[in-house]
Structure 1
Amino acid sequence: MSVAVVSLCSSPRLAHLRLQLRALAGAPDVRRVVVWIGDEEPPVLDAETVLRVPPGADGLRLAAARNAGAAAADGADLLVFLDADCVPGPDLVRRYREAAVRHPDAVLCGPVTYLAEGVSASDPAQLVALTSPHPARPMPPNEAERTATAGEYPLFWSLSFALSPATWRRIGGFDEAYEGYGGEDTDFAFRMREREVPLVWTGGAHAYHQYHPTTSPPWQHLDDILRNGALFAARWSEWPMTGWLDAFERGGAVTRDAAGWRRVP
């Protein structure tokens, strides 16, 4: 089963991406596809395919970049999408391959461990001892899978997932109307659920998210979250990212009325 690993990257995450590419180097029947999403041309990268999707008027085009990466992976039997910050565990590709045989029509989602500041990800084998997946997502045993309930689809995230090209086409890829930060992955999950595509939590397909500073809530993305959240709400009659919106409201930056969330004048 040939695999294409698709990653999106811009210059702030370049060092993390290089470790990911090194971890995948030499893996049998694995093609590395990098979609460069920054303003500048991509640097020289140790990847089989490199293409560029520049930002749009409203910021980074994450949905369009994932769609372009999937198109560039033409001929692969399995598409694996891996965040540029994530280093694959030693068994990630194997577990996604095995689960894809048992669940050929599903979207597979493996657990992600967030690494602490100062932890080196240069040797993925050494990260196994640090495995501690994010508690907000289900984690079956290492050689097991579990099909998500309908209520678990909002837990899907795009840090690490895999699916066949046929399933990708059935879902229709990501909606390119989303630009900037947030919303496009939950929209993808809702489209998945609407089309009755199974979501399978895949134990043992561990990825390790390398540390970088963050803000919570992500104030720098407030306008993106409002814009993309309104787009999502118009389509699905509910708002995504409500935890962040609640935090913005507590901070006095947004308010909610009958029309939805908006900035405080």
Structure 2
Amino acid sequence: MTTGSERVAVITIASGRHRHLRRQLEAFAHSTVRPDVHIVVAMDDPDVAAVAADHPVRVLPFSGDSPGVLQLAEARNAGAAAAVEAGASMLVFLDVDCIPGPTLLERYIRSAVATEDLRLLYCGPVTYLPRDQLVFDSRELHRFVDPHPARPAPGQGQTQLSSEMMLFWSLSFAITTTDWASLGGFHTGYRGYGGEDTDFAMSAQHNGFRIAWVGGAHAFHQHHPVSNPPVEHLDDILANARVFHRRWGVWPMEGWLAAFAERGLAVYDAATDEWRRTGGGQRRNFENRIAT
């Protein structure tokens, strides 16, 4: 448990990926700081309860209003609401694929205490583990630290502030409950895959936030097959891109939209300023070793 006045909640949303979730939960047993509460939001997945049964977590069943569509924003908000109700003063969101390093929570807490007068989203370095990774013990994973090169990775014990809000990622981040309340959580207009985390960053920027990159708050992303671009999420991404454009006046996920256009799956109509599905092209999976 934490010491002092900080009461820290971890929030994990899950649908499937049971082996990944089990490894995450096992890792928290070796954390230098244990979460005061860990909320696992089971998105239309009743089997999550059995996976978490031997761990000190609360499983929160969640069903959206659109069958078959994962409502990631609403699920995160539901987990945060449960954590706040449990008395949390700090929220740590951790993707189900991520194994926390032993000092992840400790470093988030120390960084937040040191910068308590600032409005910040706290993000730690993430290492993407390769397909053939066989070691998953959080006490040993430090040997494989190789942070994603597109994000800052300060040294152990260091915190680097940045105004480049588009580098924010939701797979591992922390925020005080006071700041969470001021932002109102994730915008619930996003359904399925893509856009809701970039929207959250835009909202934070609009409200005067910066990112604090927290050295030593390592997470290790377990491999799973992905497509690049994620053609299986084409319709979700196009719909969410339109939501984002209406809210902020710019198009998000431009790399993916361009890749869809190259494959004949989507087209930009300059006359209407709209991206839309073409109905053509081949929906092939392009596997990549890291998620975008």
* Aligned position for 1:251: 263
- 2:68 equivalent to 1:49: no
* Aligned position for 1:118: 132
Q: Deviations over 1:80-110 (max 9, x none)?
A: 0000000001111111011010122321011
Q: 1:3 aligns with which of 2, 8, 15?
A: 8
Count residues with an aligned counterpart.
262
Report runs of 4+ in structure 1 exceeding 6 Å deviation: none
* Aligned position for 1:19: 23
Does the CA-based 8 Å contact 2:90-2:174 persist in structure 1? Answer: yes
Compute the TM-score of the two structures, normalised by the length of structure 2: 0.86
2:274 and 2:81 mapped to 1: Cα distance? 35
1:63-82 superposed matches below 5 A: 63-74=73-84, 75-82=87-94
Q: Deviations over 1:35-91 (max 9, x none)?
A: 011354643212421112224427101101111111111211211000000000111
Change in CA separation of 1:121 and 1:16 when aligned onto 2, cut-off 3 Å: farther
- 2:287 equivalent to 1:263: no
Q: Which runs of 5+ in 2 are unaligned?
A: 1-5, 280-292
* Aligned position for 2:156: 142
Q: Which of structures 1 and 2 has the bigger CA Rg?
A: 2
Does the CA-based 8 Å contact 1:21-1:32 persist in structure 2? Answer: no
Q: Could you say what secondary structure the match of 2:261 adopts?
A: helix
Kindly provide the amino acid, as one letter, of the partner of residue 38 in structure 1.
D
Percent of aligned positions that are identical: 47
Q: Which runs of 5+ in 1 are unaligned?
A: none
Does the CA-based 8 Å contact 1:53-1:64 persist in structure 2? Answer: no
Q: Could you say what secondary structure the match of 2:149 adopts?
A: coil
How far has the Cα of 1:121 moved from its partner?
A: 4.8
2:174 and 2:49 mapped to 1: Cα distance? 26
How far has the Cα of 1:17 moved from its partner?
A: 0.6
2:133 and 2:89 mapped to 1: Cα distance? 34
2:268 and 2:46 mapped to 1: Cα distance? 38
Q: Could you say what secondary structure the match of 1:107 adopts?
A: strand
Q: Answer with 41-50 or 197-206: which moved more.
A: 41-50
* Aligned position for 2:71: 61
How far has the Cα of 1:263 moved from its partner?
A: 1.1
Compute the TM-score of the two structures, normalised by the length of structure 1: 0.94
Does the CA-based 8 Å contact 1:34-1:47 persist in structure 2? Answer: no
Q: Superposition RMSD on alpha carbons, in Å?
A: 1.5
